[in-house]
Amino acid sequence: MQIGDRLKEERDRLGFTQSDFAALGDASLRSQIDWEKGKSFPNAKFLAAIAAVGADVQYILTGVSSSAALTLDEQLLLDRYRISPKELKDAALRVLLLGDPPQPAAKFVVHGDVGQQFDTVHEGTFNIDMRKERKKK
């Protein structure tokens, strides 16, 4: 089985038409058809876009499913979650998180040796202490 065959298989699994799948990554229907026929290959932008809707890009590229490490019940839950409407996904998350709504992960990137220190983060805001840490004598 080639990349194009696996791309079509993932598109079918997710329930997209060729046109709708192509549109996810700002590609043309002609490109989608050519990719599925193996005449050319999708770019990284397209692969990232379809990964965002649940396509197994590792499987498309290598033929090895990224879910190979999942148990059967984990895979079943994941498959059902992916095809569920947003309301059902939200309800499932509330149950699994014991009523706590999912929180977006905070991400802080500090480059270089400048000694920034982060204070407590509250609702998406943060304070930065720009003073360099002084060595005690």
- Is 22's pLDDT higher than 70? yes
Reply yes or no on whether the pLDDT at 130 is more than 70.
no
What is the per-residue burial (b if ≥16 Cβ within 10 Å, else e) of 21-43? Answer: bbebbebeeebbbbbbeeeebbe
Domain map (residue ranges) of the chain: 3-62
Mean pLDDT in residue range 109-124:
48
**Tens digits of per-residue pLDDT, 52-99?**
888 899 999 998 887 666 778 888 888 888 888 989 888 888 888 886
Share of the chain above pLDDT 70, in %: 69
Tell me what the pLDDT averaged over the chain comes to. 79
Judge whether residue 41 has pLDDT over 90: yes
- Residues 67 and 57: beta-carbon distance below 8 Å: no
Q: Name beta bridge partners: 12.
A: none
Whole-prediction pTM: 0.51
Q: Is the pLDDT of residue 123 over 50?
A: no
Assign domain 3-62 one CATH number from 1.10.8.60, 1.10.260.40, 1.10.10.10, 3.40.50.300: 1.10.260.40
